[in-house]
Amino acid sequence: MDSLSKRLEPKEETIRPELVYAQSLSSIAPLGSVSAYLTYALSSSLASTFLAGLLGALIYFLWVLIGYRYSKVVATTGGTYDFARSGGGELLGKISGWLYWMSYTLYLSSASTYLAGVVITSEFNVDPSFFELLIPIVLTILLLTGIRPPLYYAFITSTLEIIFILLLGIKVLTVTGLSIKPLLPSVSPSALFSGSLAVGFTLAGGGASFFLGYEAKGRGKTVGKAYIIAYCVAAIAVIFASYFEIASVGYSNSGIHNLLNVTQYPGFYIAEKFMGNTYALIFLLLTVNSLIGSVTAAYVALSRLTYSLIRKDMLLSILILATVFISINVLAAVTNSYLTVYTVTTEMSLVTLYASHTIVSSVYPFFTKKIQGRSTISDLILSVSATILMGYGIFSNLVPVSQVSVYGIISLIAGVIIGSIHWWLKR
């Protein structure tokens, strides 16, 4: 056991740059976003989703810039916890760290439950409880083999995801032709903005690489570059997908309405229509893998965050996470309430993620003042803009108050309390 614990310990500058990039890209889950999550944007912005995608990618880039600048300087295993701590002190660091910990921990069960209870069962007649329990067990075993195997796997599969998105898009556009209609608003400004935010938050997740700062070759420089490149690649893929998905139904609002009435997985449906059953099956399997890759990246990041927050013992950190992960999934399987568990954990994960990002964004000027001796007007504008964006993410999930949003409120309060107690005990 001691030898395993020692082998799992983070080692300084041992992870190659392409694996850090893979950690960022796989956590965004480009094919999962195109096949499933882009549905939320399409339902809001309809045939203007391409335009909404352009705006959303630019809006979310505000946070990306802040994360990029932090990661170049704060190269640790603590990621956003150390970002907030470097700008706002130990108390805000602990609160932000625990909010992020809750967000990613809940995301493990959210994504795996969605995969087992919704995606797989929608296409195959199988028992969801088998996959609900298998996913956390297999991923835990994979993580216990060390960090490189899951990262190499992520690098190969995320590259295949991008290739399959591009091939499908090229095929669709050779059939439909190009049009400027997606650049012309066909919905109200509020619907366009709603779709923009949906696309922007679809591209969230690349910050999983922040937690590899200590282990990455080149430290912060490598992490920052990998984060920016992964975001740009994912943004281009998702925006391109929004264009060809609109093209596939005739560049019209009515076409998007009809598409969403037929399927909630437009990427898979379009692949089957334009490329045939074999391509569609591979596309579906890669989509499933994309979601698994996203969970794996989150698991890797969480193991490092837990290591930084609780105790410098990687084996213990993984076992703590595995216990929580498996317990929530067992609850979903025993109660047969996959959709409920998915909905609640997603709500809680999003609220705590935005709350953590709000803290990190708001203390950014103090961080720049500490490292540069001053904060510029552009630093303040960037901080305020990103803070408002992330604050809106919290607001939009909690208002109007519903039975589901109550869980988001509880998770937000719990994260603040846990972080505050941890800070008080460590004084």
Per-residue pLDDT of the chain (427 residues; tens, 9 = 90+): 567 778 888 999 999 999 999 999 999 988 888 876 788 889 889 999 999 999 989 988 989 999 999 999 999 999 999 999 999 999 999 999 999 999 999 999 998 998 898 778 877 788 999 999 999 999 999 899 887 888 888 888 899 999 999 999 999 999 999 999 999 999 998 889 888 888 887 787 789 999 999 999 999 999 999 999 999 999 999 999 999 999 999 999 999 999 999 887 888 889 999 999 999 989 888 888 888 888 999 999 999 999 999 877 889 999 999 999 999 999 999 999 998 999 899 889 989 999 999 999 999 999 999 988 888 999 999 999 999 988 988 988 898 889 999 999 999 999 999 999 999 998 8
Fold exhibited by the domain 2-425: Amino acid/polyamine transporter I (1.20.1740)
Closest CA to 20 of 158, 144, 199, 141: 158
Cα(50)–Cα(252) distance, integer angstroms: 12
User: How many Cβ atoms are within 10 Å of 115's Cβ, its own excluded?
Assistant: 27
Cα(413)–Cα(262) distance, integer angstroms: 40
Cα(63)–Cα(417) distance, integer angstroms: 25
Cα(407)–Cα(352) distance, integer angstroms: 11
Task: For residue 367, give Cα distances in angstroms to 15, 22, 76, 210, 312.
Answer: 27, 28, 16, 16, 25
Rounded to 5 degrees, what are φ and ψ at 15?
-105, 125
> Quick one: tokens of 137?
């067990």
Answer whether 203's CB lies under 8 Å from 234's CB.
Answer: yes
Answer whether 182's CB lies under 8 Å from 51's CB.
Answer: yes
Q: What is the pLDDT of residue 1?
A: 59
β-bridge partners, 15: 216
CA angle 406, 411, 415 (to 5 degrees): 150
Q: What is the pLDDT of residue 93?
A: 97
Chain centre to alpha carbon of residue 81 = 17
Long-range contacts of 258-263 (CB under 8 A, 24+ apart): 259/42, 260/39, 260/42, 260/43
Closest CA to 100 of 292, 268, 257, 298: 298
In terms of residues, how long is the chain? 427
Closest CA to 410 of 349, 359, 360: 349
User: How many Cβ atoms are within 10 Å of 90's Cβ, its own excluded?
Assistant: 14
Q: Quickly list DSSP for 210-230.
A: GGGTTTBTTHHHHHHHHHHHH
3-class SS at 15? strand
> Quick one: tokens of 369?
């003042």
| Per-domain residue ranges of the chain | 2-425
